[in-house]
Structure formats: C-alpha cells, structure tokens
Amino acid sequence: MRDLGKHPEACSINTATLGFQAPIETVIDAVARAGFGGIAPWRREVEGHDVSAIARRIREAGLTVSGYCRSTYIPALTEHDYKANVAANRRAIDDAAALGSPCFVMVVGGLPEGSKDISGARRQVAEATALLLDHGKNAGVKIALEPLHPVYAAERSCLSLLSEALDLCALIEGNCSDPWLGTIVDVYHLWWDPNLSRDLARAGRENRILGFHACDWLVPTSDILNDRGMMGDGVIDVPQIRQMVEDSGYEGSVEVEIFSVNNWWRRPIDETLRTCRERLATST
C-alpha cells in the first residue's frame, strides 16, 4: 500500500470538504499549497463560471482533477422531468471534459416525491446511465456510479451496494478490459457491507474502480447527512479498506470528502486541508 505521506500526487481533496466558504480560485491555490496533487470540484463552483479558466487555474496550480461532482438525480415521475435530468447530466459531462476530469460522479437519486416504486427508480437509473455512458465516451469522460449508504435510499440514491453498482456496469457495458463505466468506492457508504472484501476484489478485477473516497463514521452521528468525520476520528478501519482497494489493483487518487456542517465546514480552510493531509498519511 502506498505511503500517502510520500505520495502527494495520490492525495486529492473534494472541495465539499471545505464547506464552499471561498471561491474556487482561492480553494485551488490553498489545496496546492497544502500538498495535495488533486482536486474534485462541484458543479456549484463551476456552472455559470468560465470553465476553461477554472481548468487552466487547476493545471497552473499543478493539480489534476480526480472527479467532478455530481449528477442531477435521475428518477422522475414524468417523462419530461426524466429527460430534463438526463439532459442536465449531459451538460455536466461536457463541463467535466472541459475541466479535464477523468470521470463524472453519479449520485443517481432516490425515489421521486410521492413514489414508493424503488424498482422503477432503478430502471430509470439503468436506462439513463446507458445514455450518459454514450455521451461520456464521446466527451472522453468516464461515468462513475457512486453507491450511497442505504440510509440515503429514499432521498438520494436507490443504488446502495457495490455489488449492485458492478452488476449495473456489467449489464450496461458488458465485460471489457478498458471500461468507460465504473464506480466510486467511498468508505462511508460501504464500510458496513459484509461482502465488501469480495466486491472490492471483483471491482478491481473488472477495472471498475474510478475513485476512492475517504472520511469516517462518527459515533454518535448527530446528522446523518452532514456529520461525517475526519479519517481516524470514527469507527471505520479506513487503512484496511484502502489496502483492499489497492490490493485489487487500484492506483488512482485517494480523495477526502467530508460533509461536516458543524465541525470542519466551520474551520479555516487551511486548517482543514492541513488536517486532511496529515490524516491521509497517518489514518487512511
């Protein structure tokens, strides 16, 4: 397993970790200063701005883009809304390409308001992913399905298990040695899964791991969405999971993504970045 203290190029920061306190230009410079090699921006920092200027700023800071977050939720009650969701994601994939992002991170969405039909939502996700995969190939951007913790099944992601994401990849793209469709492995979402070891080995074997996200599960968790912990502060054995991921053949970046409304988002971004960089070396 790589010593992340000695591999800044493997260390990336997801800008959500910094709470969107500062403009993206300020964040880019701070991330580079703090000894990271990568950055993963969000659409809220990019859309409506000069995307090529942001891309240039990232390059000139010596950073690479590890991913671009994230998809508009897919499932909808009407064909009109469903198509609008797909179209919004096509535009976002174009921005991902302009940023030089290797992948577009898809949080697929949960149940549309008023629906109890999770199977229907999953069918829409499968159909839309196939369409977006075509668009991504043309744009040179891989599609990264991120299974989310089952606690988000109703409101954010009807895709919960890593095995489910891999099955969906195989269904849509078939087996191939250099796939354009893959998955994000996030320890927060997957740490509890009794099949994690098996499924990570499969994900590596099938070349489907497009990103690895790190944070921690706090006990107690005060807010199920925005109380994620810094690596080392919770109950996830993050190094063990990273070991499995790297043993499976993954050589990409380790991206810190912490939603923490009452702790890290309130701190100065330089302090949060310094802590992330240290914990990548010691507790990830």
Q: Where are the alpha helices (DSSP H) in 176-237?
A: 187-190, 196-205
Site for its own copies in 194-213 (CB under 8 A): 194
User: What is the rounded distance in angstroms from the CA atom of residue 272 to the CA atom of residue 203?
Assistant: 31
Q: Which segment (99-107, 110-118, 177-185, 271-279) binds its own copies by CB under 8 A?
A: 110-118
183 backbone φψ class: left, alpha, beta (φ>0; ψ -120 to 50): beta
Q: Residues 47, 237, 247, 270: which binds its own copies (CB under 8 A)?
A: 237
Pick between residue 100 and residue 232 the one whose CB is nearest to its own copies. Answer: 232
Q: Is residue 88 near its own copies by the rule CB under 8 A?
A: no
- Specify the residue, 207 or 283, whose C-beta has the smaller distance to its own copies: 283
Least CB distance from residue 236 to its own copies, whole Å? Answer: 7
By CB under 8 A, residue 84 contacts its own copies: no
Q: Which of these segments, 25-33, 127-135, 191-199, 245-253, binds its own copies (CB under 8 A)?
A: 191-199
Q: Give yes or no for residue 277 binding its own copies (CB under 8 A).
A: no
Q: Quick check: 155 binds its own copies (CB under 8 A)?
A: yes
Whole-number Å distance between alpha carbons of 34 and 24: 15
Only one of the segments 4-12, 23-31, 219-227, 259-267 lies at the binding site for its own copies (rule: CB under 8 A); that segment is 219-227
Q: Which is nearer to its own copies, 22 or 151 (CB)?
A: 151
Strands 181-186 and 209-214: parallel
Residue 96 CA to residue 47 CA, distance in Å, equals 11
The residue from 117, 201, 226, 278 that contacts its own copies (CB under 8 A) is 117
Q: How many CA atoms lie within 13 A of 3 on its CB side?
A: 2
Instruction: Provide the token pair at 34.
Output: 């703090």
Restricted to residues 131-150, the positions that interact with its own copies (CB under 8 A) are 149-150
Size of the site for its own copies (CB under 8 A): 28
Give the number of other Cβ atoms within 10 Å of residue 4's Cβ: 21
H helix intervals, 109-195: 118-139, 162-173, 187-190
Report CA dihedral (174, 204, 86, 52) to the nearest 10 degrees: -130
Strand partners, 104: 68, 143
CB of 280 to its own copies, least distance (A): 17
Q: Which is nearer to its own copies, 35 or 150 (CB)?
A: 150
The reply on whether position 151 binds its own copies by CB under 8 A is yes
For residue 213, the Cα-to-chain-centroid distance in whole angstroms is 6
**Residue choice 118, 126, 131, 281 for contact with its own copies (CB under 8 A):** 118
Minimum separation from the CB atom of position 240 to its own copies (A): 8
Tokens of 134: 């075509």
Strands of 152-264 (E only): list them.
Answer: 181-186, 209-214, 254-256
Contact at 8 Å (CB) between 19 and 44? no
Q: Give the interface with its own copies as residue ranges (CB under 8 A).
A: 111, 115-118, 122, 149-151, 153-155, 158, 160-161, 164, 191-194, 217, 219-221, 224, 235-237
